[in-house]
Amino acid sequence: MKKNLFELPIPTRDGRFTARYSQKGLAELDFPTSHRRRRGNESQISSPDESVRDSSRRLPWIPNRILNWHRATKAALKNILAGRAAGNLPPLDLTGGTAFQQAVWRALRKISFGTTKSYGDIARAIGRARAVRAVGGACGANPIPVLVPCHRVLAANRKLGGFSAGLDWKQTLLAREGVKF
């Protein structure tokens, strides 16, 4: 099953994020200058021209549905970066992971703004109390950071834990949500 993703940028004062959409919804979100590891199947990426005024030259056609999703993504991301709850999200396409990873990502989505859970909490929440370390692995494989709030998972000793895009990002996001630790 091939992935054909539409790639659109999100400029913010923290840098330029990149969102990618499948036919089902937002599938990937990259931090500025992030070097996400590529695994498995290579995605076929459509890279439309960034300039809005240049729409006549913009090849591949972007469905209206995806542009609407992208509006929602931009608003949600900017809310979080500004220290507010994300608000409405676009549909998320999280079908790319294993059953275990999807269970973890579903649990992550239940962590509300400004609160945190431990890796062990997540493991218990999905009924795999001893898979704490694997939960860390699934967090690292989260394709939609920030909106699927893997940054709200701390180690049990209330320490920071890890973060694929760099611990500075994790710290920044938590600080803007008012989390102290």
Partner DNA sequence: AGGCTCATGACTC
Partner DNA sequence: GAGTCATGAGCCT
Give the footprint of DNA on this chain (CB under 7 A): 39-40, 97-98, 100-101, 118-121, 128, 130-142, 145, 150-151, 153, 155-157, 161-165
Q: Which is nearer to DNA, 25 or 96 (CB)?
A: 96
Q: Which is nearer to DNA, 6 or 119 (CB)?
A: 119
How many whole angstroms separate alpha carbon 126 and alpha carbon 79?
Answer: 28
Q: Which is nearer to DNA, 10 or 153 (CB)?
A: 153
Please report the DSSP string for the chain in residue order: ---EEEEEEEEETTEEEEEEE-SSSEEEEE-TT--PPP-SSPPEEE---S-GGGTTT--S---HHHHHHHHHHHHHHHHHHTTS---S---B--TTS-HHHHHHHHHHHTSPTT--EEHHHHHHHTT-TT-HHHHHHHHHT-SSTTTS-GGGEE-TTS-----TT-HHHHHHHHHHTT---
Catalytic residue (one of 94, 104, 122, 150): 150
Q: Which is nearer to DNA, 71 or 158 (CB)?
A: 158
Closest distance to DNA from the beta carbon of 171 (Å): 12
Among this protein's residues, is 139 annotated catalytic?
no
Specify whether the CB–CB gap between 171 and 146 falls below 8 A: no
The set of catalytic residues is 150
